[in-house]
């Protein structure tokens, strides 16, 4: 019987419509030409950080967890002092070997919630291998970087296997022993077929952003991966939302899971949400006037199509803004350069398709602008979740025709 622990004010399952199986099988490209009829009032919500900052008293300190001293040292070096709610309740469950389901808003620290106990597992048994499957290459790279910071000085290694990057380099990395393999479903499946990843040697799998993988049409690849793993395995499943399809996957993939929910509502109370009424005006001129304002320090702009995102990026550069773009038609190396430049402040404005909306931890984004209305309200929630992270406040603006 599935046991559930819920933390936060709003712990019921979301009632928003879920994708049908037919739509889930399609790629994001097939959804680019339409959007839900989302009432514009859902894009307006004043920030109320005081509500979000309800006092959370953790049960544990990082020093209390049954993990190695060198891992605790690296956690301290990263500046982690107090576990977040999902870390506080999830780490002990994973250390005990349970299958788990984590339901959490973006930016809640779930990467640390699964990496810390899984690193400890490998420290305890050096033959243990962990597979982490995520929907996008950017998220895979981010988790890989986080992993490397946790294992500094431990001689524990990982391979990051994502589409759009050199498969030859990844094959070369896989020839060495890696305790962790982190990647996207398509590339992992490809490397399995080429026999460079042997799924039967992995006893632990993490499915992160599972709702996004379902939405992007990776369900067949997920099933293929799961069916090739040992029957006796540990499965960790993370999702921001729970739909009928996701619930079915949990029943299919996990055994007697324990669920931790730290959902606190659809959007963070740290995000001030408003609309920009176009009403016959030039969207480009309205956008330019916004970006000239002093408080727009670090701005993430979302467009619906790859062509539109690239065109907007070039137009802003021509008008003197420090801007770049990431989308599916850009080669992997250029996407990473643009993302790094934005993170480091060398670029003020990053224009992106929804590929950047899930899971990425980009520090200090002051504004998210929806230049194009998102296809679904879930996409809206994940787009604006790039700002107002942790204890910071942010602003989300949506252009409405």
List, for residues 97-145, the tens digit of each pLDDT value.
Answer: 999 999 986 678 899 999 999 999 999 999 999 999 999 888 999 999 9
Residue 388's closest CA among 106, 60, 55, 80?
106
Whether 254 and 302 share a structural domain: no
Give a yes or no: residue 149 inside a domain: yes
Give a yes or no: residue 34 inside a domain: no
**CA neighbours closer than 13 Å in the CB half-sphere of residue 115:** 25
Residue 350's closest CA among 323, 385, 319, 379?
323
Q: Which of 261, 281, 316 finishes a domain?
A: 261
Instruction: Compute the distance between CA of residue 155 and CA of residue 286 in angstroms, rounded to an integer.
Output: 52
Contact 323, 317 (CB under 8 A): yes
Range with the lowest mean pLDDT among 6-10, 193-197, 198-202, 381-385?
6-10
- Look at residue 381 and tell me whether its pLDDT is greater than 90: no
pLDDT value at position 217? 87
The answer for residues whose C-beta is within 8 angstroms of residue 16's C-beta and 6 or more apart is: 241, 377, 378
pLDDT value at position 382? 81
Instruction: Compute the distance between CA of residue 42 and CA of residue 273 in angstroms, rounded to an integer.
Output: 9
- Look at residue 25 and tell me whether its pLDDT is greater than 90: no
pLDDT value at position 323? 96
Positive/negative CA dihedral, 331, 332, 335, 336: negative
The residue that leads in pLDDT, 242 or 295, is 295
pLDDT tens digit string along 319-353?
999 999 998 888 888 888 999 999 999 999 999 99
Give a yes or no: residue 287 inside a domain: yes
Q: Residue 271 corresponds to which tokens in the numbers above? A: 């995000």
Q: Which of 261, 288, 303 finishes a domain?
A: 261
Give a yes or no: residue 50 inside a domain: no
**CA of 70: how far to CAs of 74, 75, 147, in Å?**
6, 9, 14
Instruction: Compute the distance between CA of residue 197 and CA of residue 66 in angstroms, rounded to an integer.
Output: 31
Whether 234 and 369 share a structural domain: no
374 φ/ψ angles, rounded to the nearest 5 degrees: -65, 160
Token pair 């896989």 in the structure block, residue = 174
Query: What is the mean predicted confidence (pLDDT) over 362-386?
Result: 88
What's the pLDDT band for 47 if we cut at 50, 70, 90? low
- Look at residue 366 and tell me whether its pLDDT is greater than 70: yes
pLDDT value at position 160? 97
Among residues of the chain, what percentage have pLDDT more than 90? 60
Whether 161 and 287 share a structural domain: no
Whether 257 and 281 share a structural domain: no
Whether 288 and 353 share a structural domain: yes
Q: Which of 203, 226, 261 finishes a domain?
A: 261
Alpha helix ranges (H) inside 102-260 = 110-124, 137-150, 167-174, 185-193, 210-215, 219-227, 244-253
Average pLDDT value over all residues in the chain:
85
Which of helix, strand or coil describes residue 247? helix
Whether 246 and 296 share a structural domain: no
Give a yes or no: residue 33 inside a domain: no
Instruction: Compute the distance between CA of residue 286 and CA of residue 243 in angstroms, rounded to an integer.
Output: 37
Contact 369, 271 (CB under 8 A): no
The residues that bridge with 396 in the sheet, in sequence order, are: 273, 368
CATH number at residue 144: 3.40.50.300
Range with the lowest mean pLDDT among 48-62, 282-296, 301-315?
48-62
Instruction: Compute the distance between CA of residue 35 and CA of residue 33 in angstroms, rounded to an integer.
Output: 7
Residue 358's closest CA among 206, 199, 140, 169?
140
Whether 298 and 235 share a structural domain: no
For the chain, how many structural domains are there in total?
Answer: 2
Whether 126 and 182 share a structural domain: yes
Q: Residue 311 is part of which domain span?
A: 266-400
pLDDT value at position 263? 66
Give a yes or no: residue 13 inside a domain: no
What's the pLDDT band for 49 if we cut at 50, 70, 90? low
Q: Residue 58 corresponds to which tokens in the numbers above? A: 């953790």
Whether 297 and 228 share a structural domain: no
Whether 173 and 299 share a structural domain: no
What's the pLDDT band for 55 if we cut at 50, 70, 90? low
The answer for residues whose C-beta is within 8 angstroms of residue 125's C-beta and 6 or more apart is: none
Among residues of the chain, what percentage have pLDDT more than 70? 85
Give a yes or no: residue 44 inside a domain: no
pLDDT tens digit string along 215-236?
888 999 999 999 999 999 999 9
Whether 240 and 369 share a structural domain: no
Instruction: Compute the distance between CA of residue 270 and CA of residue 268 in angstroms, rounded to an integer.
Output: 5
Whether 225 and 339 share a structural domain: no
pLDDT value at position 15? 36
What's the pLDDT band for 30 if we cut at 50, 70, 90? very low
pLDDT value at position 332? 80
Positive/negative CA dihedral, 338, 79, 357, 252: positive
- Look at residue 12 and tell me whether its pLDDT is greater than 60: no
Q: Residue 321 corresponds to which tokens in the numbers above? A: 């803004």
Give a yes or no: residue 27 inside a domain: no
Instruction: Compute the distance between CA of residue 227 and CA of residue 359 in angstroms, rounded to an integer.
Output: 26
């Amino acid at each position: 019987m599935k046991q559930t622990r819920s933390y936060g004010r709003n712990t019921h399952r979301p009632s928003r419509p879920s994708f049908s199986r037919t739509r889930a099988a399609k790629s994001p490209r097939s959804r680019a030409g339409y959007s839900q009829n989302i009432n514009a009032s859902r894009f307006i919500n004043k920030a109320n950080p005081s509500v979000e900052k309800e006092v959370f008293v953790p049960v544990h300190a990082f020093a209390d967890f049954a993990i190695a001293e060198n891992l605790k040292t690296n956690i301290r070096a990263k500046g982690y002092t107090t576990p977040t709610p999902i870390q506080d309740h999830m780490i002990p469950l994973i250390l005990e070997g349970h299958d788990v389901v984590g339901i959490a808003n973006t930016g809640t620290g779930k990467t640390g919630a699964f990496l810390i106990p899984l690193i400890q597992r490998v420290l305890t048994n050096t033959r243990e291998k962990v597979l982490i499957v995520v929907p996008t290459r950017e998220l895979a790279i981010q988790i890989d970087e986080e992993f490397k910071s946790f294992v500094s000085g431990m001689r524990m290694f990982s391979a990051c296997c994502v589409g759009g990057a050199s498969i030859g380099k990844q094959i070369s990395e896989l020839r060495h022993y890696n305790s962790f393999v982190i990647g996207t479903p398509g590339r992992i499946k490809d490397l399995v077929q080429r026999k460079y990843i042997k799924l039967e040697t992995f006893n632990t799998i993490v499915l992160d952003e599972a709702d996004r993988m379902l939405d992007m049409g990776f369900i067949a690849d997920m099933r293929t991966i799961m069916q090739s793993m040992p029957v006796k395995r540990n499965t960790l499943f993370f999702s921001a939302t729970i739909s009928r399809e996701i619930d079915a996957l949990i029943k299919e993939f996990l055994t007697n899971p324990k669920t931790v929910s730290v959902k606190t509502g659809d959007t963070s109370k740290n995000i001030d949400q408003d609309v920009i009424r176009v009403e016959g005006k030039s969207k480009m001129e309205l956008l330019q006037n916004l970006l000239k304002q002093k408080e727009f320090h670090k701005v993430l702009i979302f467009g619906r199509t790859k062509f539109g995102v690239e065109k907007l990026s070039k137009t802003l550069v021509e008008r003197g803004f420090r801007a770049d773009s990431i989308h599916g038609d850009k080669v992997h190396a250029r996407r990473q350069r643009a993302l790094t430049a934005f993170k480091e402040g060398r670029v003020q404005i990053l224009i992106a398709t929804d590929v950047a909306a899930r899971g990425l931890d980009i520090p200090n984004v002051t504004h998210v602008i929806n230049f194009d209305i998102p296809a679904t309200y879930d996409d809206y929630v994940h787009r604006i979740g790039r700002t107002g992270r942790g204890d910071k406040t942010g602003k989300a603006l949506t252009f409405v025709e």
